[in-house]
Structure 1
């Protein structure tokens, strides 16, 4: 009867424990707060075992750098609550799983638990020699406590990897709470079951947090190639896959195909595509055959077409797909592509934008290829959702960038097309500006603190391409004014015609004199020859003056005014001056082919440029485009236009663009009023402008010192313009 009663009590006790276990399991798996979950795991494990204290550790780090970090510390007798939602922060250092010499740390009970993946029970820590409890004894002495019995339980994830450890201290007697007893071995199965539920809940929380962190991280990645690489890396990491490929759906020649974006295989050392890998030469895979039928033979195209995840345990024993290409690859690389997990990347509109294909899940213990588990399917599916959001956003952003790029280049080409005499200027200035910026980023002296991130480079790119957008409002007649007398056409022809009339009138006059005085014929013919030659010299001088140049002296301007007073007779017999006031004004232009009024009208393009750009709703990352683009005609001493800014009021990129604009204009091959200027003369002029405080001295010195001029010349200028090898004379 007594035995029956004892059995009944034991049965009832175990029934209660099982009921408690089910209740705890539900609570743990439904807990969404990670800190509260950690607390609950310790609290419930202590309740089941009647432990006075408990500590929860989580495994951090990889490989030999793995450590056990303290997450929760509880002790009822000492009234200790550390970590979690209610406790104080824990300032204890993590415990390394491996010693400095690389050997596993089996002296510590919790690290031994991780390394062996087994529950460890200690009846009396003060009597065991198996583990080093010197730290525990020091704690006891300091706190007036005695840590006697220990129960250390590993928390194993779905891959049988330890993600944490629960360490319980001092089991208390049910009859006398002041009495410490060993942990009851009969409840070990219950503790193991509870630990399993705890590990599942904890792993889910860890995965959820990692995926949320990953989404934030992926969303902040501005480079598409880097983003793609990161997505595949994280997919391989979470599944322990040996290899993987990420495909993107692209329309190539009007046909939808899966394009290889990145390929990786750890065992074979393959890394192609992405940000830093080799170029992928494998042709894209069509989603449909030539007859328009869906390509369901290929596992990746099948996933893209059906939006279904496909998990293949063994490709060599799977008849639904054509793995002949895989087998050929395996044979040539001495590899065995066994398990496959192929996942669609679906955007917010439920459209497939790509496919992740993972190959060979690796057993962490044996290193052998195994199948991808069902639990991994849900994890990868969640990761793919986050990845697709980030990738779709990046693709959309890139599409917008591509559209903006096409738009600004279209404007630049339209400006260049307005005049054949400045053709290519709007395309060469951006190239030269970026060369100067690159030299500044690499410089370790004056510009050691200057740097451009991805957004900074793009901002400079947009600004440099848009730097002359205001010229859309400039009359074509001014942009096309290739000579001083050019309006709708070059009126130098009219001046030449007048002088031809003057020569004919001279000849007629001389012939009439010869008729009157035949005896003076020889002298008169000599006079006609001399006067004709004088007119030819004058015509040649006016023609040269009409071409324009870098400088016309006052003496030559006076000559023009002198010749303007010469008289000729029109067809109606009216006596007129050789040159009109308008022609004199234009022919006396000291520099170039534009009058002061015309120059002011062209310079107004900078005001229009700034107005146009400031009216655009640029995002924050492009906010400085108007300032960069609108400052390339400003001078360091404040005498430039349109705002008269001084050096300290201008950004470094704006000052760079000013030098790029000047150097391009000096060396341009398409300016009709001058020959392409050699590098030596261009640098001399820029150096004089530096002395006159027109250009930034530091940037010009960098431009010369880093030989940006040479790099530019070799790509854009005539070979004979590069007439020096060293620009140090101009520093």
Structure 2
């Protein structure tokens, strides 16, 4: 970017980072974009913005999608001072090529940030200006038109990539092509706002048509002691016609640079002409640097001999710089968008992992469950992607949908944070403190028996008690020991009932009999051997939870959905709450919390349900149950299939693929 163009952007008023949501807002805002601009609104869905010699014609989707309304503008496409801009949603803009030839139209997706809009319009204006100026010379008209088309095509290609590694390679490739550079490198700038001296310029990608060599990533400090560093520090392009003509004394060279010939000497390749261009983000901060090397003369494809570097390499022209800077400006915005996407993904990953950690710390007995369910569910989805026959032939999960499945699987138990910890971690029918109280009570009963025995025996020895005939001195001890034995039997039975196993037949009646027994406390008040609460808990037929506690555990699904619904997942992962929130639903409507039927349960959730049940059965880290062997777990799942509770086709795929081995082997 030229210093003049950069100054123009710098002096424009700060507009904030709020977004323009629709065409009406766009109409209102565009007049503020540049001082001296004029806005005209001739019709609904159409407005023009005049900036210097250029006029932007903005068209709402309802205009350019209508063949009759767009027709008047098609006849004006050849006018060099007119720039047509189609606006609409991402989906509408994506469909633009199917309606009109996008070569002659620019496009802007709404919503858009104000500063991003300003930079985009400035960039388009600059491209058109170059075309107008160059077009005045008839000999360069065709070349200019091709370059303009190329630059516009580059813009579309760059904006469609969110993978930063792929994007950097494409940026360098396109910059080299527009300037006919034999080689080049690309760098990113990692700013440290807390400590600027620690800011780094990181080498990322290199390309060379003559010498094929992979270079590892390295970094240098942000300062003006290198050509790349100078481009960052001074925020301007640096064009060096011939590095070999530089003086050995850096102070005698522009920007005090010195050519390091280490690479040249090692490879035999000569870096002659060099163009170094900074890339700016939408806040006009340097985000990276493109460095182009050896501008080849026309019809020169490779530099085979040493002599070629002097015969076939020339300096980068003013036009090369102009177009390369336009590519760099587009690249800077595309790179920022890619990095923002990457940061968003890292933010989501960090949040999800932190949430899983919180769940596992709350319920350590299920540590690893969420990760295993995610591995199984994503693994099944990836297997489905490879199927080209049968029910799943047309079902495909793209990269974003697989990530959505992973997040939903990892967070399917997130709602457990809304369940009381004592219920989550309840390993036996009585809570530990309830069991301790029960043990103390039985110990107290034992002590009462002993006191009663000693008191009765002493009264007998003192002749104070009346005893039945034949009831001798040893009878007191025998009665006492019988009572202790019965008490021990009661306690043994209660301890057995406290285990999270199936209550034996007749167990409830016996527990009730024990509950009805009484003893005298320290104040001689009659107390039951078992409290009502203890009787209820110990009478649970299977597992460790009462009905109320089980209902509370079941409520975690509702909590999961409500918690996840509050998170702005955006357009990338909109289905995370519903996928995760339905994992306990069954196809026959017998699941919870909503008793939904098969047509309301998405495939992603059906897969997760199978994975969740399988891991719950085979997990060895549950204190309240033993791990079930794989074959037994599959038998149980097959029973669920026969009961029309889980998806048969997905279960068959689960068994055939043996995807479960991926988690069992860890």
TM norm. shorter chain > 0.5: yes
CA 260–665 in structure 1, closer or farther in 2 if over 3 Å, else same: farther
CA 396–39 in structure 1, closer or farther in 2 if over 3 Å, else same: closer
CA 443–511 in structure 1, closer or farther in 2 if over 3 Å, else same: farther
* 2:337 maps to 1:337: no
Show structure 2 runs of 5+ residues with no match: 1-52, 58-72, 80-102, 105-133, 248-252, 304-308, 462-469
CA 508–603 in structure 1, closer or farther in 2 if over 3 Å, else same: same
Alignment of 1:264-343 (within 5 A): 264-270=207-213, 280=216, 282-287=217-222, 295-319=223-247, 320=253, 326-343=260-277
Does the Cα contact within 8 Å between 1:498 and 1:568 map onto a contact in 2? no
Note the alpha carbon deviations across 1:147-173, whole angstroms, 9 max, x for none.
xxxxxxxxxxxxxxxxxxxxxxxxxxx
* 2:231 maps to 1:231: no
CA 535–331 in structure 1, closer or farther in 2 if over 3 Å, else same: farther
- State the number of aligned residues: 519
From 398, 419, 442, give the equivalent of 2:342.
Answer: 398
* 2:632 maps to 1:704: no
Q: Which deviates more from structure 2 when the two are superposed, residues 641-650 or residues 361-370? A: 361-370
Question: For residue 606 of structure 2, what is the aligned residue in structure 1?
Answer: 655
From 495, 512, 527, give the equivalent of 1:543.
Answer: 495
Deviation at 1:538, TM superposition (A): 3.6
State the TM-score, normalizing by the size of structure 2: 0.69
Deviation at 1:36, TM superposition (A): 9.0
Note the alpha carbon deviations across 1:660-716, whole angstroms, 9 max, x for none.
33233334454332244443443333333333333222223322322221111223x
Note the alpha carbon deviations across 1:264-314, whole angstroms, 9 max, x for none.
333333356xxxxxxx3x321111xxxxxxx22211111111111122233
Note the alpha carbon deviations across 1:195-226, whole angstroms, 9 max, x for none.
99445222222222222222222212232222
Deviation at 1:256, TM superposition (A): 0.9
Higher relative CO (CA 8 A, sep ≥ 6), structure 1 or 2?
2
Does the Cα contact within 8 Å between 1:463 and 1:628 map onto a contact in 2? yes
* 2:518 maps to 1:590: no
Inter-partner Cα distance in structure 2 for 1:581 and 1:547: 18
* 2:179 maps to 1:259: no
Does the Cα contact within 8 Å between 2:186 and 2:204 map onto a contact in 1? yes
Does the Cα contact within 8 Å between 1:413 and 1:426 map onto a contact in 2? no
SS for the counterpart of 1:622 is: coil
Show structure 1 runs of 5+ residues with no match: 1-28, 41-83, 86-193, 273-279, 288-294, 716-731
Question: For residue 288 of structure 2, what is the aligned residue in structure 1?
Answer: 354
Alignment of 1:354-433 (within 5 A): 354-366=288-300, 367-368=302-303, 369=309, 370-371=313-314, 372-433=316-377
State the TM-score, normalizing by the size of structure 1: 0.63
CA 271–529 in structure 1, closer or farther in 2 if over 3 Å, else same: farther
Deviation at 1:345, TM superposition (A): 0.5
Deviation at 1:346, TM superposition (A): 0.7
Question: For residue 638 of structure 2, what is the aligned residue in structure 1?
Answer: 687
Question: For residue 76 of structure 1, what is the aligned residue in structure 2?
Answer: none
Deviation at 1:554, TM superposition (A): 4.5
Question: For residue 244 of structure 1, what is the aligned residue in structure 2?
Answer: 184
CA 554–269 in structure 1, closer or farther in 2 if over 3 Å, else same: farther
Inter-partner Cα distance in structure 2 for 1:197 and 1:30: 19
Note the alpha carbon deviations across 1:533-554, whole angstroms, 9 max, x for none.
55434423322432314x4455
Question: For residue 218 of structure 1, what is the aligned residue in structure 2?
Answer: 158
Inter-partner Cα distance in structure 2 for 1:664 and 1:504: 47
Q: Which deviates more from structure 2 when the two are superposed, residues 241-250 or residues 520-529? A: 520-529
Deviation at 1:423, TM superposition (A): 4.2
Which is greater in Rg?
1
Does the Cα contact within 8 Å between 1:315 and 1:323 map onto a contact in 2? no
From 482, 489, 513, give the equivalent of 2:427.
Answer: 482
Inter-partner Cα distance in structure 2 for 1:310 and 1:204: 23
Question: For residue 18 of structure 1, what is the aligned residue in structure 2?
Answer: none
Note the alpha carbon deviations across 1:72-103, whole angstroms, 9 max, x for none.
xxxxxxxxxxxx99xxxxxxxxxxxxxxxxxx
Does the Cα contact within 8 Å between 1:32 and 1:205 map onto a contact in 2? no
Inter-partner Cα distance in structure 1 for 2:553 and 2:592: 12
